[in-house]
Amino acid sequence: MYKSVCEYLNLLLHINLKIRRNMKTYDVIIIGSGPAGIITGVTAKKRNPDKSILLLGESQKGLVPCGIPYVFHRLDSVEKDKMGPKPFMDAGGDFQADKAVDIDPEKKIVTLDSGQAYEYGKLVFATGSTPVVPKFIKGYDMEGVEYIKKNYDYIEGLVEKAKKAKNIVVIGGGFIGAEVAEQLQLNGSHNVSLVEMEKYCFCNAFSTELADMATEELKKTGVNVMTSTKVTEITGENGKVSAVKVDSGKEIQADMVIAAIGYRPNTELAKKSGLQLNKIGAIIADQYGRTSVNDICAAGDCAGTTGFLTGKEDTIMLASTATAEARVCGYNLFGICLKRHFSGTLGVFSTEINGMVMAAAGVNAKTAWEANVNYASAVFSDVDRHPGAFSDCSPLSVRLYVSLSDGSIIGGEVWGGKSAGEIINTISMSIQKNVTVYELVEFQFGTHPLLTTAPTKYVLVKAAEAVINKIR
């Protein structure tokens, strides 16, 4: 009886407080409406239809992040790359175009830019990432220095500006830089240069061998690719960019400079709210996305990742990784209903440059060396049809990286025709399930003349055989 009275009084007090604050409570509030935010929301809402979930985002008009390079040519439209919170709203979630500016983790209150405030049961950071600004380059702040921001209106403006630019210099040869350079070049209206300080483009994701190939393909599109080159200064007149100076002393004409030197996690608010960040400034989160603060989770680019093999902090920022984290986070917000089976982040990358597909999963020679892993590696090359006489036949190669300690597949690269984009997923599955090279060699796969390599030399199996021959 006494307890009930207490509870009743407590409830009254609670109601009173809420009325006073005029504050609504959501079971879940998600900050950020990119892929991680939307997928956390959709997953959590479908799993818990009775929970109230609010998604906060800048605008209902978002972008498919990995599709941005293609708005400059292949899609030829920003509208066609649109992605928004509709799937989440269709699932019954609430969306609000507003920005979280303050969090009280004790009282569990989020305050928005508009002044409005909500109480939350669980809070999810899905605040994404922002292009790194090259403050170390003189002239970085001139008019005409642009970024690939994941923002609809900004990109729409950028497309218009690019139309007026004859000479464009892209700084940075990662996926975004290289793909944007390729697409701008292929649209035929610009002279595009790309400056990369490493020996090859894509060298963060690909082995030296594959990065070399990818760089050569990029050159074939007509992009003036300058590797092993550093930008020393962006120069211009009246505050407007006119050229880029590089360390060889050479000057490249530029009406527009696109800085694509990486992204940094958006974690100012997280830091302010007392969440622990890792060395690169990402939110430290466990395998279920739980942060250092009770009832606050993080998923996607703003959350730190841990390499599956090294167990060390990683800097992988991919929409595929973000959505995988978001699914795990969304499922497990109210208790572990989806036990995590594979710990750590794998990193599965793919791209197409000049019609050549290149993909990678797990470690490569360079990252295996850095992690001090003993491995064997071998490549097998054939074509993606059988017989090879079909007119739409493309080359196809697979390289596997195999742990010498237990024979398990720890990495792979695939390049050639379009099917490489899915073959890398069979490799990724193999890594996640600890498939050994001995199991892979007896893999029961499917083949068809119009779709795959021949059954006599199915690329994954032959690459596995080649590794076994090296191990013996």
- Rule CB under 8 A: which of 200-229 touch a second copy? none
- Which tokens belong to 260? 């694509």
Q: Which of residues 259-298 bind a second copy (CB under 8 A)?
A: none
As measured in angstroms, the least distance from the Cβ of 326 to a second copy is: 9
Q: Which of 274, 450, 470, 471 binds a second copy (CB under 8 A)?
A: 450
**Residue labelled with tokens 């990818």:** 214
Determine which residue in the list 342, 369, 370, 405 makes contact with a second copy, applying CB under 8 A.
342
Q: How far is the CB of 258 from a second copy (least distance, A)?
A: 18
How many residues form the binding site for a second copy (CB under 8 A)? 83
Contact 49, 28 (CB under 8 A): no
Residue 443 binds a second copy (CB under 8 A): yes
Stretch binding a second copy (CB under 8 A), from 10-18, 148-156, 249-257, 383-391 = 383-391
Q: Does 452 bind a second copy (CB under 8 A)?
A: yes
Burial class (CB in 10 A: 0-12, 13-18, 19+), 33: buried
Compute the least distance from the CB of residue 447 to a second copy, in Å.
5
- CA-nearest of 402, 409, 412 to 374 is 402
First vs last C-alpha separation in the chain: 77
* Shortest distance in whole angstroms from residue 129 CB to a second copy: 15
Q: Map residue 270 onto helix, strand or coil.
A: helix
Q: How far is the CB of 121 from a second copy (least distance, A)?
A: 22
Q: Could you tell me where the beta strands, DSSP code E, fall in 276-394?
A: 296-298, 305-306, 313-314, 348-353, 356-362, 375-383
Shortest CA distance to 148 belongs to which of 302, 36, 259? 259
457 vs 448: CA distance, rounded Å:
12
Contact region with a second copy (CB under 8 A), list: 115-123, 151-159, 218-226, 460-468: 460-468
Contacts of 398 (CB under 8 A, 6+ apart): 379, 380, 381, 412, 413, 414, 423, 427, 459, 460, 462, 463
Alpha-carbon gap, residue 112 to 427, rounded angstroms: 44
Q: How far is the CB of 240 from a second copy (least distance, A)?
A: 32
Closest approach, Cβ 65 to a second copy, in A, equals 9
Pick the binder of a second copy from 50, 106, 237, 442 (CB under 8 A): 442
Among residues 227, 321, 403, 408, the one that binds a second copy under rule CB under 8 A: 321
CB nearer to a second copy: give 39 or 145: 39
Q: Is residue 373 involved in binding a second copy (CB under 8 A)?
A: no
Instruction: Please report how close the Cβ of residue 431 comes to a second copy at its closest, in angstroms.
Output: 9
> What token pair was written down for 61?
């008009």
CB of 438 to a second copy, least distance (A): 6
d(CA 453, CA 404): 28
Binder to a second copy among 30, 244, 324, 463 (CB under 8 A)?
324
Residues 293 and 274: beta-carbon distance below 8 Å: yes
**Closest approach of a second copy to the CB of residue 209, in Å:** 19
Tell me the torsion sign for CA atoms 200, 204, 355, 164: negative
Angstrom distance (rounded) from CA 386 to CA 374: 35
Site residues for a second copy, 166-195, by CB under 8 A, read none
CB closer to a second copy out of 291 and 430: 430
E strand map for 35-99 = 53-57, 62-63, 82-83, 94-97
> Residue for token digits 């999963």?
361
Among 33, 40, 408, 428, binds a second copy (CB under 8 A): 428
Query: What x/- string results for residues 13 through 52 when contact with a second copy is judged by CB under 8 A?
Result: ----------------------x--xx---x--x------
Which residues within the stretch 48-107 sit at the binding site for a second copy (CB under 8 A)?
64, 66-67, 70, 74-75, 77, 80-83, 87
419 binds a second copy (CB under 8 A): yes
Would you count residue 371 as binding a second copy (CB under 8 A)? no
